Chains A and B, each alone.
Chain A
Amino acid sequence: KAGVTQTPRYLIKTRGQQVTLSCSPISGHRSVSWYQQTPGQGLQFLFEYFSETQRNKGNFPGRFSGRQFSNSRSEMNVSTLELGDSALYLCASNFIGGGSYNEQFFGPGTRLTVL
Chain B
Amino acid sequence: SQQGEEDPQALSIQEGENATMNCSYKTSINNLQWYRQNSGRGLVHLILIRSNEREKHSGRLRVTLDTSKKSSSLLITASRAADTASYFCATENTGGYQKVTFGTGTKLQVIP
A residues adjacent to B (C-beta < 8 A): 4, 33, 35, 41-45, 48, 55-59, 88, 90, 92, 100-109, 111
Contacts and interface: CB of A to CB of B under 8 A. Distances in A.
Contacts of B1: 59
B78 interface: no
23 contacts: A35-B102, A42-B105, A44-B102, A45-B98, A45-B99, A45-B102, A55-B99, A56-B98, A57-B97, A59-B98, A88-B40, A100-B92, A101-B30, A101-B33, A101-B99, A104-B33, A104-B100, A105-B45, A106-B44, A107-B42, A108-B41, A109-B42, A111-B40
Interface string B29-47: 0110101000011111100
B2 interface: yes
A4 B102 CA distance: 20
Contact of B42 (A56, A59, A108): A108
B88 interface: yes
Interface in B22-64: 30-31, 33, 35, 40-45, 48
Interface of B is mostly: strand
Interface of A is mostly: strand
B73 to A, nearest CB: 19
A54 B43 CA distance: 22
B106 to A, nearest CB: 12
Given A42-B104, A48-B100, 6 more contacts: A45-B102, A56-B97, A100-B92, A101-B33, A106-B44, A108-B42
A13 to B, nearest CB: 19
Contacts of B77: none
A46 B33 CA distance: 18
B100 A101 contact: yes
A73 B71 CA distance: 35
Contacts of A59: 1, 97-98
B34 to A, nearest CB: 11
Contacts of B99: 45, 48, 55-56, 101
A35 to B, nearest CB: 7
A90 B30 contact: no
